Amino acid sequence: MRRKGVKTFLIVAVIIFLGGAITLYLFGKPAKVNTDTHLNGVTEDIENALYYASFAANSHNTQSWKVELDIAKQQLTIFPDEERALDFVDPKHRELYISLGCYIESITFAFDAYGYDTTLEYAEPIGLNNEIATISYSRRENAEINNRQIETLKRRHTDKRSYNTDRINAEVIAQLLKDTDGIYCYETGTEEFEYLKNGTMEAISKQSAEAAYRTELNQWMRFSNKEAEQKKDGISAEMIGLNGIIKAFYYMTTNHKNAENDTFAAQGIDTAKKQTENCSVFFVITGNDTVIDWIEAGRKTQAFGYRCVENNLSIQPLSAMLEVVPYSEDIQSQLDLAKNVQMILRAGYVKDYGENAGVRRNLEDYITVINGN
Ligand SMILES: Cc1cc2nc3c(=O)[nH]c(=O)nc-3n(C[C@H](O)[C@H](O)[C@H](O)COP(=O)(O)O)c2cc1C
């Protein structure tokens, strides 16, 4: 009788254990976002270039761009997608244009990797309902695919995990800043680093208290593999540095209903504290406040991102100070800079560098092909 009881107990325990392990595996396994890169009448190398170009940094991974690809003219026209604007954190669309600048730079870099020269021309005037730029491309003679550059495109990503706090070698910083203009580096221990660290925490705490902020963020958070795989935009668990069991618990406990409550906001503040306390430097990218200057700041940000990849340095933009008053109004004078701050990036080393999560939309969702055969 007793032996039968022990046997039943063991069977139940094994079933519970296996059930738990399977559940954790299912919630924690990596998402498989299959971006469809097919475009009617477009050659495979251009499809690939456009796919990797979409790995550009962009706020909340909204991918707020639309493109017209004219095959006959060999030209891409870039438009903003105002339906993907972040009206609460970015009412002036500053970050939207920076994101479009990142995308433009990424297109240039990706086309170059596939053997195409590009020339960029800004539209006049630039507005939300207008095109912002055209990029003409032409294949170089005897062009070869630059696999190293394609690797850089794939590896560039925003790393939201904690970084090592060790100092970064002065030569590496000099190399990163070489021939750049308007990019500044503040190391741990400096007054400016403390200002950016504390200001970021204060600004994040302030915006997290706002219901409209929480609603907007919730719209772009992804809380299951299925959601990330279907929507192909927004911020998945992998993109906030969660994998395996931790990712499984995150997806099991968080959803769109509880993502606007105080507990989720407090977790966000706690994560930001770990991020700002676990990095080696802050970089700031400066520029004037016009639409073209914002796009240019985006191009600079993306190009700087590639340099960081080549130096195995992880980066994460932290925009709260630029989104919240008084920080957004005071930062330029507090840091004594000639131009306004457009991007704040924390940086540092991690053990396993990782790569882009590739949560990106199908090309046909935002690219219209014209003048094909
Ligand atoms: C203008 C701009 C602002 C951003 N602000 C933040 C931010 O405040 N916090 C953050 O964690 N990431 C920020 N990011 C990074 C985006 O979340 C990230 O680029 C996007 O999710 C795509 O992921 P990926 O960079 O790994 O490809 C920002 C990116 C851009 C271009």
Cβ proximity of 322 and 328 under 8 Å: yes
Q: What is the pLDDT of residues 178-208, one digit of tens each?
A: 999 999 999 999 999 999 999 999 999 999 9
Confidence of residue 28 (pLDDT cuts 50, 70, 90): confident
Q: Please name the residue that has the structure tokens 């396993």.
A: 352
319 lines ligand 1 (CB under 6 A): yes
- Are 89 and 150 a contacting pair, CB within 8 Å? no
What is the rounded CA–CA span in Å between residue 21 and residue 342? 45
Alpha carbon of residue 344 to chain centroid: 13
Q: Is the pLDDT of residue 25 over 90?
A: no
CATH superfamily membership of 170-221+256-348? NADH Oxidase (3.40.109.10)
Question: Which amino acid would we find at residue 370?
Answer: I
Please state, in angstroms and rounded to a whole number, the distance separating the CA atoms of residues 293 and 314: 25
Atom of ligand 1 nearest to the CA of 99: 31
344 in ligand 1 pocket by Cβ < 6 Å? Answer: no
Average pLDDT of span 251-263: 97
Mean pLDDT of the chain: 96
CB-ligand 1 contact for 317 (6 Å cutoff): yes
Most ligand 1 atoms within 8 A of CB, residue of 294, 319, 323 to mutate? 319
Give the Cα separation of 38 and 372 in Å (integer).
Answer: 14
235 ligand 1 Cβ < 6 A: yes
Whether the CB of 315 sits within 6 Å of ligand 1: no
Query: Do 345 and 307 meet the contact criterion of CB atoms below 8 Å apart?
Result: no
- CATH no. of 44-154+357-370: 3.40.109.10
pTM attached to this predicted model:
0.95
List beta partners, residue 185: 283
Phi/psi for 125 (5° steps) reads -85, 165
Look up residue 156 and give its two tokens.
């560039």
Q: Parse the chain into domains and list their residue ranges.
A: 44-154+357-370, 170-221+256-348
pLDDT band at 125 (very low <50, low <70, confident <90, very high): confident
Of 95, 102, 157, 158, the one to substitute when testing ligand 1's pocket (max ligand atoms within 8 A of C-beta) is 158
Per-residue model confidence (pLDDT) at position 213: 98
Q: Does the C-beta of 346 come closer than 6 Å to ligand 1?
A: no
Rounded Cα gap, residues 206 and 276, in angstroms? 16
CA of 111 to the centre of ligand 1 (A): 23
- CA atoms 14, 20, 26, 30: torsion sign: negative
- Best mutation site among 60, 153, 161 for ligand 1 pocket (most ligand atoms within 8 Å of CB): 60
Q: Residue 1: what pLDDT?
A: 60
Q: Which residue from 56, 316, 283, 287 is spatially nearest to 172, judged by alpha carbons? A: 283
Q: Region 145-162: what's the mean pLDDT?
A: 98
Q: Please say if the pLDDT value at position 165 is more than 70.
A: yes
Question: What share of the chain has pLDDT > 70, as a percent?
Answer: 99
Report the SS3 class of residue 358: coil
Provide mean pLDDT across the span 97-114: 98
The candidate with the shortest Cα–Cα distance to 315, out of 97, 161, 154, 150, is 161
Which has the minimum average pLDDT: 119-128, 204-213, 329-338? 119-128
* Encoded amino acid at 317, one letter: P
For residues 31-47, average pLDDT: 97
